[in-house]
Structure 1
Amino acid sequence: MAVRLPPEQDPEARLRPDPPQVYRSGFGMRTFWTTATWLLTGAALVLGATLPFLTTGKAAILPVLLLAVPVALIDGIRRYGWATLLFFVVETLLISNFFENLSVETGFPFGDYHYTGGPQLIHVPIYIGPVYFGLGYLCWRVAELLLTDGRRRAVDVVAVPALAAALMTVFDLGSDSVASTVNHTWEWERGGGVFGVPYTNYLGWWLVTYLFFQVFAIQLSRRRATVQETSPAAAPVVYAALALNAVAYFMVADDDTVTDPSGVVWNHEALAETMMLINLFAVLPFALLALRSAARKPRR
Structure 2
Amino acid sequence: MTDTISRGTNVDVVLTPGTPARRSDGRVRQALGWVVVAIAAAAAVVVPLTGAPAATQVIAVLGVTLALVQGTRRYGWGTLLAFFAISYSISFMWENLSVMTGFPFGNYHYTLLPQLFYVPVIIGVAYFGIGYVSWMTANTILDRADERLNLRTRTGRINVIALPVLAGATMTMFDVGIDSIASTVRQTWIWEQGGGVFGVPFTNYLGWWFVTWTFFQVFALVVAARQTRRGEEAATLPAVSFLQHALVFLMFGISSVSAFFGYTEGDTIIDATGTSWSTPAIFETLMVFNLFSIIPVSLFAIAKIARGDLDRA
Contact between 1:191 and 1:198, CA under 8 Å: does it hold in 2?
yes
Q: TM-score, normalised by structure 2?
A: 0.84
Query: Structure 2 CA distance, aligned partners of 1:126 and 1:96?
Result: 11
1:98 Cα offset (Å): 0.5
What are the residue-to-residue correspondences of 1:92-111 with 2, within 5 Å? Answer: 92-111=87-106
Tell me which residue corresponds to 1:256: 267
Unaligned runs of 5+ residues in structure 2 are 1-19, 149-154, 228-232
Contact between 2:49 and 2:263, CA under 8 Å: does it hold in 1?
no
Tell me which residue corresponds to 1:136: 131
Q: Secondary structure at the match of 2:292?
A: helix
Shift in CA distance, 149/66, structure 1 to aligned 2, threshold 3 Å = closer
Q: TM-score, normalised by structure 1?
A: 0.88
1:259 Cα offset (Å): 0.5
Tell me which residue corresponds to 1:50: 46
Contact between 2:44 and 2:59, CA under 8 Å: does it hold in 1?
yes
| CA-atom RMSD in angstroms | 1.7
Query: Structure 2 CA distance, aligned partners of 1:57 and 1:33?
Result: 30
Tell me which residue corresponds to 1:7: none
Match of 2:296 among 278, 281, 285: 285
Query: Structure 2 CA distance, aligned partners of 1:25 and 1:65?
Result: 29
Structure 2 residue identity aligned to 1:36: L
Tell me which residue corresponds to 2:276: 265
1:73 Cα offset (Å): 2.0
Unaligned runs of 5+ residues in structure 1 are 1-23
Structure 2 residue identity aligned to 1:168: M
Query: Structure 2 CA distance, aligned partners of 1:283 and 1:194?
Result: 18
Query: Structure 1 CA distance, aligned partners of 2:93 and 2:118?
Result: 10
What are the residue-to-residue correspondences of 1:92-171 with 2, within 5 Å? Answer: 92-149=87-144, 152=148, 153=155, 154-171=157-174
Residue deviations 1:145-204 (CA, integer Å, cap 9, x gap): 111356622211100100100011111001000000111111101110000000010011
Q: Count the aligned residue pairs.
A: 276
Tell me which residue corresponds to 1:235: 245
Match of 2:194 among 186, 191, 194: 191
Q: Percent identity?
A: 43
Q: Secondary structure at the match of 2:95?
A: helix
Match of 1:76 among 63, 71, 77: 71
Contact between 2:47 and 2:54, CA under 8 Å: does it hold in 1?
no
Q: Secondary structure at the match of 1:61?
A: helix
Q: Secondary structure at the match of 1:232?
A: helix
1:220 Cα offset (Å): 1.1
Structure whose alpha-carbon radius of gyration is higher: 1
